């Protein structure tokens, strides 16, 4: 039986998708150097978390951007991951 190195990241991500991708690229590089096979990122890696769950605000909600699973941002993450298994979360566009 072979060993599998699993690494998990607890980090906040914001709405800037280019910055999210840069941060993931850096995390993937560290994971590779550590011999990680499976890298688990937060459920809001692409686009960040909701800032207000109360629903009591009069401001429009600051929602994460909806993304297509076959779109360029997800494809870029797949390229960054290469042979590393990468788990991440995003706000999926309605289809």
pLDDT tens-digit series, residues 35-90: 999 999 999 999 998 765 565 555 556 788 999 999 999 999 999 999 999 999 99
Question: pTM of this prediction?
Answer: 0.85
CA distances for 3 relative to 8, 27, 35, 68, 85, angstroms: 16, 21, 11, 34, 14
CA 14 to chain CA mean position, Å: 10
CB 52 within 8 A of CB 6: no
């Amino acid at each position: 039986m072979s060993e599998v190195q699993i690494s998990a990241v607890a980090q906040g991500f914001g709405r800037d998708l280019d910055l999210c991708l840069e941060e993931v690229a850096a995390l993937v590089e560290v994971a590779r150097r550590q011999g990680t096979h499976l890298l688990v990122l937060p459920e809001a890696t692409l686009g960040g978390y909701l800032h207000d769950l109360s629903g009591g605000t009069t401001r429009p909600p600051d929602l994460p951007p909806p993304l297509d699973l076959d779109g360029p941002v997800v494809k870029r993450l797949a390229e960054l991951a290469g042979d590393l298994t990468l788990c991440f979360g995003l706000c999926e566009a309605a289809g």
